[in-house]
A and B are shown apart, each in its own frame.
Chain A
């Protein structure tokens, strides 16, 4: 259970990124966070990951307060996630290596599962966008996290690759990984998040939290309910932008 309580973040230069953000994500749930671009979504995610200190408020994970990076949480960033100077294998094995438990067989198995077998010695630059994103996911999964935090992980992918990555996320969820996903794509938020947190413009506040229990079903994407939910989210976002 991830609990976010009254987070506020003001940067040193006076920029107020978050005003007051509270929500919770149950174990085995999925959560999409959506809001206008530049609203502080990334800041929020970095705080959840224990990488930034909030000015006020707290984040709790299963009854423990988060004050730094935690092994049970993994972070996937949009760009700059992979290290261009490391090979695919080195990138994926890095988290384990840093924790002193490099496990070659496990890493190779993970790469195989993600369709990256044979690319171990390639550098990220030599891969397509979709493959790079899978490497980033593999690196996060190498630590066997319980919670994945993703910052617009699929925004640079073409539509079809994006859909297949979204389906992959659902498989992950079915295998017991909770994820929190930051996005500005309405369809993505609705398809993946069983809970949808809508944020206001900066400084971010929670405008609305929607329950979306049909998310998690790969067929949801083509159902009338799905489009209805998208319309609802779009309406709320429009109010946010206009209001």
Chain B
């Protein structure tokens, strides 16, 4: 009996969760009877009606997030890994301590003045916020690697490069991947913010546009799409992590 119920949650856990959420939503919209909360069915209909429009906005948003995450990752990981070097850490630490806690989002006006109102400023804004999240995690991970792993490798005749390749990078990889997954949520939140200003493409823009037109079903469709974007990125990263860090999941 007990085993049977375990099987059910394992196989259908996701499905049950989705159905339950939809049921709560439906119930809430029935109880509230407000135009601001349309029923899931209405939203679904408008999701299909919008079709191509939605896809164009989705693509614009997805590209911004992917570019921003790639940019942040490619800068934060090398810097974080190099923090294993005492000299690098002595320079980098004060900078991180000073710059990390300030809310970077308030720099948006400055960034728009520097990069203009095009794609660059949006990507840069997201990348900057995520950069610090990944940098801090990677730096902590690389600093906490036991010196004995390095001794062990060097005794095999390893060069400095080998130490990074065979010890520091793989040892930090699980933490980097976790940081990246967490920053998906952050990047989508910042995405909404940057797409609310000076643009006519992207899901954030679409949400605000529908809102101003009081087209609530379409607004929810756009919100759902944005959530789906975050979900898809998160799941993809989780798959990649399981593949790259097999040794963690034994």
CB atoms of B250 and A143 under 8 A apart: no
The B interface is mostly helix, strand or loop, or mixed, namely helix
- A80 touching B155 in the complex, CB below 8 Å, given contacts A94-B166, A125-B247, A125-B250: no
User: Are the CB atoms of A84 and B166 closer together than 8 Å?
Assistant: no
Q: How large is the interface on B (under 10, 10 to 19, 20 to 34, 35 or more residues)?
A: 20 to 34
Given A71-B157, A74-B155, A94-B156, A80 and B250 contact (CB-CB distance below 8 Å): no
When the two chains form the complex, which single residue of B149, B156, B245 contacts A98, counting CB atoms closer than 8 Å? Answer: B156
When C-beta atoms are compared, the residue in chain A nearest to B155 turns out to be A75
- Give Cα A139–Cα B155 distance, bound, in whole angstroms: 11
Q: Which B-chain residue is minimally distant from A96 (CB atoms)?
A: B156
A85 and B171 form a contact (CB under 8 A): yes
A83 near B167 (CB under 8 angstroms)? yes
Chain A, residues 206-221, CB within 8 Å of chain B (1/0): the string is 0000000000000000
B-side contacts of A74, CB under 8 Å:
155-156
User: Taking the complex as formed, is B197 at the interface, i.e. its CB lies under 8 A from any CB of chain A?
Assistant: no
Instruction: Indicate whether B158 reaches chain A with its CB closer than 8 angstroms.
Output: yes
- Contacts A51-B151, A125-B247 known; A80 to B158 CB distance under 8 Å? no
Min CB distance B248 to A, Å, is 8
Using an 8 Å CB-CB cutoff, how does the interface string of B151-162 with A read, 1 for contact, 0 for none? 111111111001
Which listed residue (B148, B162, B246, B247) contacts A80, Cβ 8 A? B148
Asked if A99 CB lies within 8 Å of chain B CBs, one says yes
Chain A, residues 59-78, CB within 8 Å of chain B (1/0): the string is: 00000000001010111010
Contacts of A4 in B (CB 8 A): none
17 other contacts beyond A83-B149, A125-B250, with CB at 8 A cut-off?
A69-B154, A73-B155, A74-B156, A75-B151, A75-B152, A75-B155, A80-B146, A80-B152, A83-B152, A85-B171, A85-B245, A86-B170, A86-B247, A94-B156, A94-B166, A98-B166, A143-B157
